[in-house]
Amino acid sequence: MPHDRVEALNARTRGFSPRAVLEQALGETGRTALVSSFGAEAVVLLHLAATLDPGLPVIFIDTEMLFPETYAYQHDLAERLGLTDLRLIRPDAAALAARDPDGSLHRRDTDGCCDLRKTLPLAQALHGFDAWITGRKRFHGAERTGLEHFEVEPTGRIKVNPLAHVRREGIAAYMDAHDLPRHPLVARGYASIGCTPCTTRTAPGEDARAGRWRGSDKTECGVHLIGRKPAPAPAQQEDAA
C-alpha cells in the first residue's frame, strides 16, 4: 500500500541529509519530476538535483505574472546548473481568456487566480509521474510545520520534501558553501517570491512567507492540494528554451 511505503521511507530516511533523501527518492519512487518556482531558496534543491541527475525533469510554472527578475534568474540558473530537461508550463490560453481576460482575477479571487495560473497547469504537467519533488520546509510555518520527507497523495503519487527538516541557517550555509547565486530580489527584502501582485517585502523578524498574500488568511497557492481532487486531462507541455 502507498501509505505503508511512505511510512517505511520516512522511517528509513529519518536523520538523513537532503542529498541522501533525494538519492533515496530517485532510486525508489519511479518516474519523478522536480517542481521549482526558481524563487528565494530554490537554488539549493536545484543544485542538489543537478549534481545527482542533471536530466531530471524540472517543471517551472510560468503564471505570466512573475517578476522580470524571476524569469532572468530561471534562465541563468538553468544554464549554470546544466539542467537538460527544463519544462516550462503556462496557463491555458482559452481558460485565461474566459476567466481572467484583463489579468485582474487576483484582486477579487486569489484562490481562483492561483487555480487558473498554477494549480491546473501543474496538475496536467504531473500526469504520468509517480512522484514529484518540492522545496517545502518546516521552518516556513503554517501547514508546513509537520512536514515529513515523504507524503502520499490520494492518487497514490508520492510527494518528496528533501529539505523538510533543514533549518533556515542550513539553507544559507549551503548556498555559501557552493557559491550559489541568490535570487536578485532577496537583497531587496523579498524572503519568499511568487507572482508580482501577491508578493511583498518582509520586515526583519517576520516569517519568510509573511509577504505572500499579505493582509489575507491565504498561506498556500493550492499547488500542494494536487492529488486531493481530480485533475484535468493532460495538455501538451512546452520545453523551456
Query: What is the tens place of the pLDDT at every residue in 13-33?
Result: 999 999 999 999 999 889 999
Q: Give me the chain's average pLDDT, please.
A: 88
pLDDT band for position 236 (50/70/90)? very low
Least confident range from 40-54, 97-111, 139-153: namely 139-153
At residue 230 the predicted structure's pLDDT band, cuts being 50, 70 and 90, is very low
pLDDT confidence tier of residue 237, bands split at 50, 70 and 90: very low
Q: In this structure, how many other beta carbons lie within 10 angstroms of the beta carbon of residue 229? A: 11
Question: By the 8 A CB rule, do 233 and 124 touch?
Answer: yes
Say if strands 58-61 and 150-152 run parallel, antiparallel, or are unpaired: unpaired
Question: All 3 cell numbers of residue 103?
Answer: 489579468
| Grid cell locating 227 | 492529488
Catalytic residues: 221
Lowest mean pLDDT among 26-35, 159-168, 193-202, 230-239: 230-239
Instruction: Give the residue ranges of DSSP H helices in 59-141.
Output: 68-81, 93-99, 105-108, 110-114, 120-125
- Give pLDDT, residue 224: 58
* Per-residue pLDDT tens digits for 44-78: 999 999 999 999 999 999 999 999 999 999 999 99
Helix 18-28 with 2-13: angle, nearest 10 deg: 150
Domains of the chain: 2-231 (3.40.50.620)
Of 9-18, 180-189, 194-203, 213-222, the poorest mean pLDDT is in 213-222
